[in-house]
């Protein structure tokens, strides 16, 4: 029935000849006329221009693209129905995509902006950004001529990207909503930084680039968040491994008190010892004590080496990180140096303890040999 609508002297007329008025009213209701009975009927001509009969006082039929554009460009939201008389389906689809994109981006910018301007700055979205203590102001006007609008080439991919940007801004149920908006504002500022006259038209012409830049920035933000978490994990692992190394050294040093105790015990036992069997028992006991302490020292060294290898293995999972890789590698290398220093210090301390054990063993063995020779 759209072909029955025509324009005559700025009046929209619906030719109802040979049509049932019930069908006409049903058709008009589908297209946004909530009260078709309010429309004036002269003969078979139904005059459509009665805003009060239409949803939100908007008559969706226009004689030309320019008439349509002047009627919709300053509205707060996209009208549900828009039809341009005499336009074929392909042209209508093209205009529909332009209008969809226009209002999608306007809703996105409205959610992002800090102000919508005032009477002296109407039809603008105003953004403020601060960088290095310098406050900058970005004003984006959404007023453009019909020719400027129609010169924009909009495809399905542009609409899809715009819908993704719109969804990212409007999704406020998760904790990253403000972060996404902040990243998108930064992207918008970067996109228009070299433009003297910032207009929504520029964004409509470069939606894929806008979406790509936003996506890249947001991935960097998410990765940076992950990097900070990884750095904390590495620091925690390092502290945990260092604690285990220190615990192992302390435990072994506690056992080292048996060394001077062994000397005292050997001296006490040597005094009443008179037979070769007495000396043999003392020697066997000394050998077992020395062997146990030295074995434990070697086990602790092996355990510390195992901890060092375990730390290296635990950091392998960060090899595939792309963003912040240098920062992560620096943190891993720093932790590895700390562990290496702790490992070398532990080896040195345990090495001293082992040498003391050998010294005690040799000393007591010489005393036993001397006493044995004296009693022979």
- 275-323 confidence digits (pLDDT tens): 666 666 667 777 777 777 777 777 777 777 777 777 677 666 555 554 4
Check residue 323 and give its pLDDT.
Answer: 47
**pTM for this predicted structure:** 0.61
Question: pLDDT above 70 covers what percent of the chain?
Answer: 75
| Cβ atoms of 304 and 248 closer than 8 Å | yes
Query: H-helix or E-strand containing 212?
Result: helix 207-255
Per-residue model confidence as pLDDT tens digits over 163-196:
999 998 888 776 678 888 888 888 888 888 888 8
Which pLDDT band holds residue 370 (cuts at 50, 70, 90)? Answer: confident
Q: What is the pLDDT of residue 127?
A: 86
Span 194-206, average pLDDT: 89
Q: Is 325 helix (H, G, I), strand (E, B) or coil?
A: helix
Helix pair angle (325-375, 258-270), 10° resolution: 0
Here the tokens at position 123 are 């039809």
> Residue 39 in contact with residue 33, Cβ under 8 Å?
yes
> How far is Cα of residue 364 from the mean position of the Cα atoms in its chain?
68
Q: Tell me the mean pLDDT in the region 233-258.
A: 66
Phi, psi of 62 (to 5 degrees): -135, 150
Alpha-carbon span 224 to 122, nearest angstrom: 38
Would you say the C-alpha torsion 146, 150, 156, 162 has a positive or negative sign? negative
> In DSSP terms, which residues pair with 62 in a beta bridge?
84
């Amino acid at each position: 029935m759209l072909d029955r609508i025509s324009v005559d002297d700025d009046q929209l007329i619906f030719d109802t000849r040979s049509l049932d008025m019930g069908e006409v009213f049903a058709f008009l209701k589908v297209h946004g006329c909530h009260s078709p009975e309010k429309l004036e009927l002269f003969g078979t001509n139904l005059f459509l221009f009665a805003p009060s009969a239409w949803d939100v006082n908007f008559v969706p039929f226009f004689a030309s693209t320019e008439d349509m554009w002047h009627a919709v460009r300053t509205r707060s939201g996209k009208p549900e129905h828009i039809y341009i008389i005499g336009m074929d389906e392909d042209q209508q689809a093209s205009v529909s995509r332009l209008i969809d994109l226009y209002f999608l981006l306007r809703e996105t910018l409205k959610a992002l902006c800090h102000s919508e301007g005032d009477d002296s700055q109407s039809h603008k979205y105003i953004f403020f950004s601060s960088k290095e203590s310098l406050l900058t102001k970005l004003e984006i006007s959404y007023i453009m001529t019909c020719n400027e609008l129609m010169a924009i080439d909009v495809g399905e991919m542009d609409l899809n990207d715009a819908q993704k940007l719109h969804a990212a801004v409007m999704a406020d149920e998760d904790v990253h909503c403000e972060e996404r908006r902040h990243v998108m504002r930064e992207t918008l500022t970067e996109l228009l930084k070299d433009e003297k006259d910032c207009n929504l038209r520029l964004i409509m012409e470069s939606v894929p680039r806008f979406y790509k830049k936003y996506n890249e920035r947001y991935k960097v933000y998410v990765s940076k968040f992950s990097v900070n978490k990884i750095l904390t994990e590495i620091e925690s692992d390092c502290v945990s491994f260092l604690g285990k190394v220190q615990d192992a050294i302390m435990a072994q040093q506690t056992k080292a008190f048996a060394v001077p105790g062994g000397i005292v015990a050997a001296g006490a036992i040597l005094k009443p010892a008179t037979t070769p069997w007495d000396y043999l028992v003392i020697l066997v006991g000394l050998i077992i004590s020395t062997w146990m302490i030295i074995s434990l020292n070697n086990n602790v060294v092996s355990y510390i080496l195992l901890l060092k290898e375990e730390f290296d293995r635990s950091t392998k999972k960060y090899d595939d990180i792309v963003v912040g890789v240098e920062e992560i590698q620096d943190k891993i290398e720093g932790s590895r140096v700390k562990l290496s220093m702790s490992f070398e210090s532990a080896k040195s301390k345990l090495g001293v303890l082992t040498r003391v054990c050998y010294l005690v063993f040799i000393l007591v063995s010489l005393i036993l040999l001397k006493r044995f020779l004296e009693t022979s």
